[in-house]
Amino acid sequence: MPELPEVETIRRGLEPILIGQQVMGVVVLNEKSFHGSNNDILQFINGAIIKDVRRRAKVLIIDLSTDYSLVIHLKMTGQIVVRGANSWAGGHPNESFVEDLPNKSTRIYFILSAGTKLFFNDQRKFGWIKLIPTIAINELDFISKLGPEPLIGRPIKEFLRRIRRRNNTTIKAAILDQSVVAGIGNIYADEALWISKIHPLTRVRDLSDGQLRSILKGAIEAMTKSIESGGSTMQNYVKADGSRGNYLDLFANVFRREGQPCPRCGTNIEKIRVAGRGTHICPRCQQLLDISN
DNA sequence: CTAGGATCCTGTCAGC
DNA sequence: TGCTGACAGGATCCTA
């Protein structure tokens, strides 16, 4: 899915378009994608004004004037597309960015004032939208367990404290764990480990605090660069000549680059499997020091 | 409590 | 040209 930088890019794109708009109606095309009762839709969505668009970890939060919020998780293949006076799209990049909507991947859409429609598309149906009272968000199990936001404040001390609870697992599994640090997914895990020259199979207990610090700094560097390059939006999906672009080219050094030379040393990037996920490494820059594996 | 594998679902692609 | 299995930018559930 969209990871922290992609969700933040969506938030920044939606904020100026959505704030102040009124929600006129909701169409739920796949029941499992929407968590909330029909009665709540009538009572707390229809007619509500959008007050704010926020993000926590990989979750997008749309606050309504009814003191209810839409909590949106895009998981692997979710995307948000706005059509109308201001068209915009972000999230999992595919042809639904530009196709007529709703289409076969549209799960929910919202009809807004001024003829705007907001589509929630999700090919694999893992994503969801919850309608809950705004004050109940922080009590959601998933939210309350989250680790620190990597791009806000000084997350390092809390990150170190939490990752030491994962001493017996691999560093890749540990940084993918949202209760260790919020927002890192498969792309930024691989990029962070390449930047810090750590092999993803290294056990956490075999890493010093200094090495763990450099991994978090690597993740922050990769995520910051991704947000600055504009994320996976319609703008960098469709190129000027009509062909399809790949926003990973703008910041990724190893992710989906197997067979290509490492930008640092020229050795071919390899793809392996770690923590059940496809994992990209430079076998020369990231050697596994086999102490206790 | 932790660790790791199966699972939810649709679509695409490599290999036969 | 089918068919089959592997795999996918995530997190939860289940078992040990």
The total number of residues written for chain A in this structure = 293
**What is the model's pLDDT at position A245?**
84
C-beta neighbour count of A114 within 10 angstroms: 11
Provide the CA A108 to C1' B13 distance, Å, integer.
29
- pLDDT by residue (tens digit) across A176-221? 999 999 999 999 999 999 999 999 999 999 999 999 999 999 999 9
Question: What is the pTM assigned to this prediction?
Answer: 0.97
Distance separating alpha carbons of residues A69 and A82, to the nearest angstrom: 19
- On strand B, nucleotides with any atom < 7 Å from a protein CB are 1-11
How many CB atoms within 10 Å of residue A285? 21
pLDDT, tens digit only, all 293 positions of chain A:
699 999 999 999 999 999 999 999 999 999 999 999 999 998 999 999 999 999 999 999 999 999 999 999 999 999 999 999 889 999 999 999 999 999 999 999 999 998 999 999 999 999 999 999 999 999 999 999 999 999 999 999 999 999 999 999 999 999 999 999 999 999 999 999 999 999 999 999 999 999 999 999 999 999 999 999 988 888 888 888 888 888 999 999 999 999 999 999 999 999 999 999 999 999 999 999 765 44
Q: Nearest nucleotide, C1' to the C-alpha of A104?
A: B10
With tokens 């997008």, the residue in question is: A60
Nearest nucleotide relative to A76: CA against C1': C10
Residues whose beta carbon sits under 7 Å from strand C: A 1-3, 6, 57-58, 73, 75-76, 91-93, 124, 126, 141-142, 176, 178, 185-187, 231-232, 247-248, 256, 273, 276-278
Q: What are the CA-CA distances from residue A284 to residues A171, A173, A227, A252, A256 (Å)?
A: 18, 21, 29, 18, 17
How buried is A127 (Cβ within 10 angstroms: 0-12 exposed, 13-18 middle, 19+ buried)? buried
Helix, strand, coil share (%) of chain A residues, nearest 5: 35, 25, 40
Q: Is A258 a catalytic residue?
A: no
